[in-house]
Amino acid sequence: MAIVILAPAPAPAQPPAASDRPAPTEEQRFIRAAAETLAHGREREAESLARARDAGDPAAAAVLARIALRHARYEEALGVLRPPAAKVPTSEAALEMGLLQMTLGRKADGRRTLSRVLSAAGVYRTPEELARAARAARASSSGVR
């Protein structure tokens, strides 16, 4: 005769309640607002939002570069992205620069830039940072935007 002891299954992990999550940072709010305005075709509004930020702000530079890219102004976009990407190599500006380098066929430069974006692997604290790392990893490995 065998005795079977049944233990209750552990409860599935629950995501933190909305009230337990930290409030979005000012940068996160800016990135979301700018992405939304660009997605709705409101380039002038997105540009105004970006220009209202500090001149060296990597997130603002990324938005300005995206606007330039919409009009095939690639060198302008690179010029906007270079300083903040060099200053903060894990930033949104660095990601955009690496993606643009890959698109322009500058694969070695693009992979180098994207590897810097990935250098903080494992220390991403926000969904935006994790998404940035995922985009960098995908583009770096596949060579596509």
DSSP per residue over 31-71, as a string? HHHHHHHHHTT-HHHHHHHHHTS-TT-HHHHHHHHHHHHHT
Which residues are CB-contacts of 33 (< 8 A; sequence separation ≥ 6)? Answer: 49
CB 56 within 8 A of CB 84: yes
Q: Which two tokens stand for residue 134?
A: 């995922």
pTM comes to 0.75
Domain assignments of the chain as residue spans, ordered by start: 25-142
Q: How many CA atoms lie within 13 A of 33 on its CB side?
A: 16
CATH code of the region 25-142:
1.25.40.10
Residue 10: the pLDDT is: 59
Q: Give the residue among 88, 82, 90 at the shortest CA–CA distance from 118.
A: 90
Residue 27: the pLDDT is: 83
Our measurement of the distance from residue 122's CA atom to the centroid of its chain's CA atoms, rounded to an integer in Å, reads 15
Per-residue pLDDT tens listing for the chain (145 residues): 556 565 565 555 555 555 666 788 888 889 889 999 999 999 999 999 999 998 789 999 999 999 999 999 999 999 999 999 999 998 899 999 999 999 999 999 999 999 988 886 566 667 777 778 788 888 888 755 5
